[in-house]
Chains A and B, each alone.
Chain A
């Protein structure tokens, strides 16, 4: 069962909404929790035990932390001012120890389940290369769907409790729902405790507005996923699996269309997820903000998979930058390299940590690590050349906010994103490099004119429908970028206009959706990460 399945949208979701609304408010959160466990069971079966273990771990951590905080408070009441610092530090060490212990367990689970094969293979390979052949037995584990997402949520909860940003939750049910809420469990968004836990447990009744707005958002997401992303799957898979058979032109088209597919799939599913949450009166954080209007790679990552980016920022980038060693190093380097480049060198270390983690988080393969390093390099280069380029634009008298320069930067960023996604999707790092090389060594657009492009699973009608809906979504994105709230605008119009819009969405999905005979169902793409 996934979010686009009829059994989910036609039975599971309506039944959950109905039950949620017919029972008293104090029990509504329990309905969501049961529904979430049923959903997780349906996608991961017995592996639900890992989700439960994570929940219990979070709960125990919170309780231990709370006890230590209370104990510390009591001790601090009765001591002199001079000793307070010593006591605080003593307790800080204890809470840190508990935090590290719990985070290691959480990461240990994910490393064993998701990365042990990758690590084992690489160790075997390394020893073979240096002439000491070994063969470490590699166990293959079934990985619970969503483990990469809910583990990050669990860690963020523990870190926030440790930093005393939030109170430890004594209600294990609320924690369980926070981490397992069924719309978010497969692909996020990666929520913080402060974002959703209280809202979820509150159990506000579905209102007419939340129902209609939620359903509109679901419809919008289904259009993206089923009309564009799922339709492109056959062509993208064909090109990436058999890249040896195609020229550089086709590979470039495959690379561009994969980026479009991934965006439409992931952001489409996010629309569905956020729409479902909206029905239950839960406001989830947005994960996309018109990423293809970004003027730099740095900006791109503040608009694409936003909750992952902010997670890495808050729990890796800032802690590394703000550590005592970093601060000391910044002071020293500032003297040597100046106010801009001094801190930049230190933040580069933090940036490296973020992007190596980002790459590894996406999957246990070298092409993901390369994907992380690719973006690290681009962002770092961007930061280093920023003062130079500013001077350059000033010298040649080009205003930074001029339309021409903005367009150039948007196109440049988009092209860089395309190449990153090429390595991300490639079936191995070597394949990625071969495809990359082919784009430059064997580039031709002949296949567009000799019909070769129409032999990879899509006919001209498919391309036309992809183009039409891409333009529709582009126009909507431009309106959103300009600050227009499209749904609110529709809601203000008369019933004939509104219903026409709703029926247009429903029938666009029914008629132009890539499902049924001749299509293979495509599961949400980010669920595999």
Chain B
């Protein structure tokens, strides 16, 4: 009985917290979706080569990465995420009609208000980098949710590292 309960808890943990965001291109996506896109990646790569229009929706493109992640109490875009932000900057500079909302988030270690400030600093940092890369201020909006919208809600580093992030959300 005990084992069963532990088993269920483990499964829940896995489901709630997708694996390490730094290694997987789509940390936010559920596991099923990831394996599906792997199956069709060859086809979508082929179509991406022909038409650049759908580059933003191509799961194999770097633009499919819509989140950047941070260490604790840090708001500077990390080296491994810089190519992602630079790619989005390039895309935005070539698509003046595209708009993106930058949403800063934090883990729960801090007061809610401090984290609101930290999340804003994270989003503003990405915004600045996008502007340096050619995006126009009018295409960008930066907001913070602080710790109010956690992707994962356990008190663990596995969760916290997913919550310390800035999301790039394109307007539909």
Pair from one complex: no
